[in-house]
Chain A
């Protein structure tokens, strides 16, 4: 005979809290744990401090913010020349910021460029918010991009016409990267799907050739081809302008890289997902659109954004075919004799602008990963 023991489950206890270290205690264990650790901490601390102090001294304390102009209205850079090597000459930015931001766009019309930049920023912010992710967003894009076109070209609504070769600065960088990625991404998805096609060998072959060819050449050579070689093959008068040709080159180049990223996402999905969709009778496009791509793209957000950031900066390569993007404008601004010596200041400002955009993209992708990952955690 066996007797039954009535087992009472053990009550749950809270996890014990770790005693939090005070800042001093933290520093002692993490920074000065051993002799070597202490030495490295001291050495790194010394160099960091020295660099920071030097930079602040140069950028803020000994720097010159404005320079006097003489009776004729010409700027006199003497003040900058005196502190040269010890302090920054921000006067060059003060004098040239409009040229750097808008390039050779007519001075009196540059407010249009400013609105274009603001519109682009608004577009990015709206597109980033999940609550706007619906069909209407496509109309917003079309509306804003049309407005941007109208503002840049003018010629209607009493706006002065500005030919495309006068466009420049940040608007050009934003146009090239926004249109570039907006067209490259859908193209990349199609190419990635084509490359994995099992039923259409011809499509697969074309996609593979496209990816291999485009990925195998530098963007610079593609841009050269677009700007120099392409017009040779076209009949006179039937030649799209340089900006459009560069834009197409960037789209084709970006799409080849993005396609491989997307393909990685497609490969990461278990075969069962494809089979379950097939077994339910979904068509190929329903299966891809509803089941496969939503999951595949989610998993590749980090490399996708990595590629986006890379391409945002790569648009600056249009410099070599003479398109006035942000970097070119900065370079040309420095061509003025009195400012030639102050390239550091200008390049720092350009770096800061590029950094702001790239940092925003990186932060946004982190948030997006976290938000979308919530439902899929298995």
Chain B
């Protein structure tokens, strides 16, 4: 492994994790450059969600080092706060706060974590809600929105913290087919603006369009990685070939 270069946004070096006897991440080493867009794919249970959740320490890795934006992830809470402030995350199940309005969902963290004045936080939130094309829903509650709208709010909520890196954990897997596009369009426009992104997704069209690199995981290890073109047109391993044939059969 080459030494982690200073310009990288995220560096993982020989990361290992176990859930009890289950070895879910095995010697994972990778780095994500600034403004790089990475798509992680792989069969279910391959450890891709665990990997992305380790990056902002929703899961704790047991071996190896993870360095995010120059700060190493350890038990040090202050370092963790710094990292979480700069890393936005979008979940498969949206995880909006149902007791708060859309606007409050977006302004909560800037007000409490970034200590932003309320008026400023609201202005930023409205700007980002406009960007994800739902400013008119600001006063509603999450339960009144469709799945696609909720996921776009979740993206706006993460962006309100002005993160340097965005993590997406299967953002379209819980959505009805006709709503997937609106969320992907939002993510594509975010990518075009130069955001550093790590996405766990099965949307191969999205990977083709925006990813600089695709990482294929299976059984807790990185099996293959490369540009979308290399990966999809000329897969090197039988495992990736099998995965692609399975995933493309439905398309």
Do A and B form a real pair? yes
Residue positions of A touching B, CB distance < 8 A: 270, 272-273, 275-283, 286, 290-291, 294-295, 298, 375-378
Closest to B59 in A: A275
A interface secondary structure, majority? helix
Contact present for A376 and B58 (CB under 8 Å): no
- A279 in contact with B58 given A272-B93, A377-B143, A378-B143 (CB within 8 Å): yes
Q: B99 is contacted by which of A281, A282, A298 (Cβ under 8 Å)?
A: A298
- A376 in contact with B112 given A272-B91, A275-B58, A295-B99 (CB within 8 Å): no
Contact present for B97 and A291 (CB under 8 Å): yes
Contact present for A375 and B97 (CB under 8 Å): no
- A276 in contact with B97 given A281-B81, A286-B112, A290-B108 (CB within 8 Å): yes
Q: Which 3 A-B pairs have the closest CB atoms?
A: A276-B95, A281-B84, A272-B95
Contact present for B84 and A295 (CB under 8 Å): no
CA distance A179 to B47 in the complex (A): 52
- A282 in contact with B113 given A275-B58, A290-B108, A378-B143 (CB within 8 Å): yes
Count the A-B residue pairs with Cβ separation under 8 angstroms: how many? 71
Q: B58 is contacted by which of A278, A282, A291, A377 (Cβ under 8 Å)?
A: A278
| A interface footprint on B125-147 (CB within 8 Å = 1, 0 otherwise) | 00000000000000001110000
- Count residues of chain B with CB under 8 A from any CB of chain A: 27
Is B98 positioned at the interface, with any CB of A under 8 Å from its CB?
yes
Residues of the A chain whose Cβ atoms lie less than 8 Å from the Cβ of B85: 281
Contact present for A294 and B58 (CB under 8 Å): no
Indicate the member of B58, B85, B101 with the most A CB atoms within 10 Å.
Answer: B58
Closest to A271 in B: B95
Contact present for A280 and B56 (CB under 8 Å): no
Is B161 positioned at the interface, with any CB of A under 8 Å from its CB?
yes
Q: B113 is contacted by which of A275, A280, A376 (Cβ under 8 Å)?
A: A280
Q: Report the minimum CB–CB distance from B99 to chain A (whole Å).
A: 5
Closest to B112 in A: A286
Contact present for A278 and B143 (CB under 8 Å): no
List B residues 137-165 near A (Cβ within 8 Å): 141-143, 157-158, 161
| A interface footprint on B100-125 (CB within 8 Å = 1, 0 otherwise) | 01000000110011000000000000
Residues of the A chain whose Cβ atoms lie less than 8 Å from the Cβ of B109: 280-282
Q: A295 is contacted by which of B88, B98, B108, B113 (Cβ under 8 Å)?
A: B98
Q: B161 is contacted by which of A275, A280, A286 (Cβ under 8 Å)?
A: A280
Closest to A287 in B: B112
Contact present for A275 and B112 (CB under 8 Å): no
Closest to B114 in A: A281
Closest to A276 in B: B95
Contact present for B108 and A281 (CB under 8 Å): no
Residues of the A chain whose Cβ atoms lie less than 8 Å from the Cβ of B89: 276, 279
Closest to A280 in B: B109
